[in-house]
Amino acid sequence: MSAVTNEPLPVLIIGAGISGLSLASLLEHRGIPFHIFDTLPRSHSQGYSITLRWWAFEPLLNALGVDEQDFRAAVATDVAVGGDGYLQIMLRDAHTGEKLPALQTNEGKLFRANRTELREFFVRRLSPDRVHFECELTDVILDGDSVTAVFSNGQMMKGRLLVAADGVRSTVRSKLEPEAEPVLLPATVYMGQRRVPTSEYNHELGGYVEGSNALVAVGNQCIIGLQVVKHTPETVDYSWMYSRPGFHGSSEKESTRTSVASSEEMVSAVTDVRLALAEPFKGLLSEDRIRNDALYHWPMRSLRVPRELVQKRIDSNVVFIGDAVHAMPIFAGEGGNHGLLDGVQLAESLKVGVEQNNIDDAVQSFYDDAYERWQKGVEDSEKRLNDMHQPIEVWRKLSEKKMAK
Ligand SMILES: Cc1cc2nc3c(=O)[nH]c(=O)nc-3n(C[C@H](O)[C@H](O)[C@H](O)COP(=O)(O)OP(=O)(O)OC[C@H]3O[C@@H](n4cnc5c(N)ncnc54)[C@H](O)[C@@H]3O)c2cc1C
């Protein structure tokens, strides 16, 4: 593997997830040489959707010169039925089914995007010879003025900067800063993925979702929700989730990895709670249906990397972005949005760094812009996660109090 000749050493981006692709699309746009690598094949389906927020997607679209309607038409979960990812986060009481309008949490402009389509939106904008799927980074060699990425197929590539965008279990981080580890938070999310005929979805859930691409209910120390992944005239793919406080398994150690759950385990995890639910949540968690779903449980993790650790790697030509440096719990977190914005901010800094031939200062200025945002993002998401699992009486009182105002 060799970089394109007659151009300066490229930026090497490890990880074609949200943060790496956001950065790559902007480097391509600005003509800054780069290569991006991912362990997985391009065809890998990501199987879930994500809430995109204005403070992340607007800077991206402005920098790329893409119109918001065109972006939504490319990535929204329900574009095949004429939608644009509309999201109304109308909380319901899971035990009565009633709406709790006072607790509505829609803030600013936001919509639901399909993760696979989002990746494709980015990859289509990249020169094919700069994107390398099925290419796993195994080591990083710090060369002084440059940096070399080593891959499992034995190939190597030298770059002027290596961007660790390889997610919460980052290989780059574990090689260079092994002491910076995610911490496990005492909450577990159980998730199922399901495909149903559109007529069945409309009949069973249409009256509750009211056109929104998600539905969320608060229960007694638990949250139950549904997120549309892909809505077409024929079928609707959606994921359901049930979250509760506490680690999965009998010990913290047991619950560190996301894993496929057996239907027995999932049925038994939701049986008690299901009995106390109103429709449509009771039906959502019905035993017969769960047995046909793809099932997972997700540990909730967060990661803070001390500033001095990221700072000292500037001299080694390595910069961290996305979940590799600031993971937030997937539920209640905004890690994907922060990842998008990281790509935008780093590309902006690198543009100046290339013009002034000073990449170190460019990375420094990126950290100056982004680091505080990451810390606040992680802190806020941990707090939201903690607040979500309250007794139902607390939720009801909160709703009444807000209604009375
Ligand atoms: C079910 C679910 C729902 C979520 N919902 C939301 C939401 O609504 N809003 C939100 O903001 N966030 C959400 N998130 C979180 C969001 O998806 C992550 O924060 C985001 O994907 C992080 O982006 P990233 O690019 O940093 O890392 P990732 O998306 O994890 O990408 C890292 C990439 O690096 C690759 N990689 C790893 N190791 C190597 C290696 N050694 N060599 C080469 N490649 C490698 C991986 O294959 C992967 O493609 C959700 C997450 C999940 C799982």
Q: Convert the pLDDT of each residue in 310-355 to its tens digit.
A: 999 999 999 999 999 999 998 888 999 999 999 999 999 999 999 9
CA dihedral 72, 281, 198, 196 (to 10 degrees): 110
Strands 235-245 and 294-302: unpaired
Specify whether the CB–CB gap between 277 and 285 falls below 8 A.
yes
The answer to whether residues 242 and 388 touch, using CB atoms and an 8 Å cutoff, is no
For the Cβ of 241 lying below 6 angstroms from any atom of ligand 1, the answer is: no
Specify the number of domains making up the chain.
Answer: 1
Q: Could you tell me what percent of the chain has a pLDDT over 90?
A: 77
Cβ(111)–Cβ(84) under 8 Å? Answer: yes
Contacts of 169 (CB under 8 A, 6+ apart): none
Q: Which domain holds residue 143?
A: 11-78+113-182+303-388
Is residue 125 one of the residues assigned to a domain? Answer: yes
Its pTM stands at 0.95
239 is a domain residue = no
Kindly state whether residue 297 falls inside one of the protein's structural domains: no
The alpha carbon of 146 is separated from its chain's Cα centroid by a whole number of angstroms, namely: 30
- Residue 53: give its domain's CATH number: 3.50.50.60
Mean local confidence (pLDDT), 301-307: 95
| Ligand 1 pocket check for 10: Cβ under 6 Å | no
What does each C-alpha distance from 284 to 132, 191, 198, 233 come to in angstroms?
A: 39, 11, 15, 21
Question: In the prediction, which pLDDT does 164 show?
Answer: 98
The atom number, within ligand 1, closest to the CA of 37 reads: 43
Is 163 a member of any domain? yes
| 201 domain residue, yes or no | no
345 lines ligand 1 (CB under 6 A): no
Residue at 67 is within a domain: yes
- 287 lies in some domain: no
Distance 302 CA to ligand 1 centre (A): 13
| Average pLDDT across the chain, whole number | 92
Q: Whose CA is nearest to atom 49 of ligand 1?
A: 17
Distance 158 CA to ligand 1 centre (A): 25
Q: Does 5 have pLDDT greater than 60?
A: no
Cβ(40) to ligand 1 under 6 A? yes
Closest CA to 161 of 361, 372, 369, 345: 361
| Separation of CA 45 and ligand 1 centre (Å) | 13
Asked if 130 and 35 count as a contact pair (C-beta separation under 8 A), the reply is yes
β 147-151/131-132 pair status: unpaired
Please report which confidence band the pLDDT of residue 247 belongs to, taking 50, 70 and 90 as the band edges: confident
Res. 296: pLDDT tops 50 = yes
77 C-beta closer than 6 A to ligand 1: no
Using the mean position of ligand 1's atoms as its centre, give its distance from the Cα of residue 396 in Å. Answer: 34
Residue 250 confidence (pLDDT): 54
- The CB of 171 under 6 Å from ligand 1? The reply is yes
In a domain, residue 105? The reply is no
